Structure 1
Amino acid sequence: MSPGQKRYIPLESNPEVFTDLIHNLGIKTLKFQDVYSIEDEGLMALVERPTYALVLVSPVGADYEKYTKENGPPPYTGSGEDEPVIWYRQTIHNACGLYGILHALSNGDARAQIAADSPISALVSKCVSLGPEERAIALEESTVLEDAHKGAAQQGSTAPPALEDEVDYHYVAFVKGKDGYLYEMDGNKNGPINKGIKLSADEDLFGPGGISLVKEFIEREQGGNPNFSLMALVPDLD
């Protein structure tokens, strides 16, 4: 199969499904949690801290496509440990949930939670040294990812779609880079986007900076589909 021809069954936007997938990859110390509000202080207080990453599930409408085309970053060519973030180009169809998970796990303080002997550790370490195209191929060829994704895609509260189905929603991750800046990580764009917001060493993603990025993204869909949902990557204390 040529690069870019592989298809996965889409993941349900469900923190239990996402958590099961990362646990199967060997990361037992983290979980995904629903964020029910970015306005109500009582509901916001339910989000566990620190929040390592945010994953926004957004409808893919005309506004999203237009903004992406007009405001996308230049083509990314970076690689290596000196880069502030690890970004993955999406070449597996319907796997945007998986790419959101990988962006969340591979960056910021979450990466330190990846155990050295876990199934995902060797893959992330390999990808760091590769350029974007080689990195994309490594993900396509990974049986570890494929098996974990396949198991997670069969879970959830609704019947999974068919392999050939197209979905009208997309996952975008927001992470903190090594340089302290917040980044928008979308495998369908040309590369990571530095959002120009720098956090202090003790700030996490569910502070004013990270929340402002989510609000900006939602407000961009003027007159569009309001069906957004948000998940946070947090410690698993159970």
Structure 2
Amino acid sequence: MDDPSGWSLTESDPQVFSELLRELGVTGLQVDDLYTLDESTLATLRPIHALIFLFKWVGGAGAGESVGVEIDPLEGGVWFANQVINNSCATVAALNAVMNIPSQVSPHAGESIDIGPELANLRDFGAGMGSMDLGHVVASSDRIREVHNSFSKTSPFSLDPSLVPEREKEDAYHFVAYLPVNGVLYELDGLRAAPIMHAAVEGDWLDQARETIEARIATYPPGSVMFNLLAIRSAAVPRLQRQIADPATPAHERLALQDQLDHESQKASQGAVENSLRRHNMLPLVLGLLEALHGSKIKTEVIDAARTKGKERRDKAKAKKESE
């Protein structure tokens, strides 16, 4: 379904976010699913620089509402853009996160963190702007919109959203970012007028983030599955490769690191395939094949074979039931 805004819906998939950041020029970061906030899970993903929280929008019910103090982003030193376009909340949340992650220069290849020239120009151009103006700058960027839309689902139909019955419309989900800026934990929600200040960071910022997010989840009915959590962390592969190649790394640790590297490589390879499928519209090919098969001998043979297998399964099930 096309949206008149020109921006498509984005999946809550870590490989989509990782590739989106790479396409925008960000280096040294990747995005991963975070299924729990316990310390053992966090330890495998550190260092974590930001969290992206996806939740179901339940208007008027009190569920999912965030409690905090809104602050002026310019006074707090926070880069914050409002969401001014429908369906853009995923990219806005990602930008609100990475634009506040400090750059890091590392002597090791692939381990430096940098937002790249595209976003650096955006940051310089928007210096001193208010949140709404920054939101319009993001929305008017052809490059950001093109990258965002490159991961949209393809559909052979284009429907007017106003013609879709209310009961058939998808649930509304929304992305927000959590991260520390200048020693304070902030929630960056593009639909709010300003950043939400939650707490001063004392020690590990993830401790405050865990409490804040768990409190928010607790506002939903028990057993609800209405949210997802992504972690923006330092790229794992360059670090793992360096540690494995380091002669000082003990042999038993090297084996564990190799397992992690294999997992990361497999995950990246699978993600590349999935993103490639997202970016290529296979529907014309499928429709063309169906048209070519129409009335052909191949089509008849396939249908006859499927009917034969189906009959065999039904006969076996019937015979088994009669023998019991």
- TM-score for the superposition, normalised by structure 2: 0.59
User: Match of 1:61, as an amino acid?
Assistant: V
Equivalences for 1:129-148 in 2 at 5 Å?
129-148=128-147
Cα pair 2:65 2:216 within 8 Å, conserved: no
Output one character per residue of 1:88-109: Cα deviation in whole Å (capped at 9) or x when no partner: 1110101111111011101143
Cα pair 1:104 1:173 within 8 Å, conserved: yes
SS, match of residue 52 in structure 1: strand
Write the distance in 1 (CA, Å) between the matches of 2:157 and 2:177.
Answer: 23
Equivalences for 1:114-129 in 2 at 5 Å?
114-116=114-116, 118-129=117-128
Match of 2:99 among 101, 106, 113: 106
SS, match of residue 230 in structure 1: strand
Larger Rg: 2
Look up the match of 2:301: none
Matched, 1:176 2:163: no
Q: Greater RCO between the two (CA within 8 Å, min separation 6)?
A: 1
Write the distance in 2 (CA, Å) between the matches of 1:167 and 1:188.
Answer: 17
Change (3 A) 1:150 1:91: same
Look up the match of 1:23: 22
Change (3 A) 1:153 1:220: same
Matched, 1:195 2:198: yes
Equivalences for 1:42-61 in 2 at 5 Å?
42-46=40-44, 48-61=45-58
Change (3 A) 1:166 1:95: farther
Look up the match of 2:281: none
Look up the match of 2:86: 93
Following superposition, the deviation at residue 189 of structure 1 comes to: 1.1
Cα pair 1:18 1:152 within 8 Å, conserved: no
Cα pair 1:59 1:169 within 8 Å, conserved: yes
Cα pair 1:55 1:171 within 8 Å, conserved: yes
Aligned alpha-carbon RMSD (Å): 3.0
Write the distance in 1 (CA, Å) between the matches of 2:147 and 2:104.
Answer: 18
Higher share in helix: 2
Write the distance in 1 (CA, Å) between the matches of 2:171 and 2:88.
Answer: 10
Gaps of 5+ in 1: none
Cα pair 2:131 2:193 within 8 Å, conserved: no
Write the distance in 1 (CA, Å) between the matches of 2:158 and 2:17.
Answer: 19
User: Match of 1:97, as an amino acid?
Assistant: A
Following superposition, the deviation at residue 160 of structure 1 comes to: 11
Indicate the percent of aligned positions where both proteins have the same amino acid.
23
- TM-score for the superposition, normalised by structure 1: 0.79
Following superposition, the deviation at residue 7 of structure 1 comes to: 4.1
Cα pair 2:72 2:195 within 8 Å, conserved: no
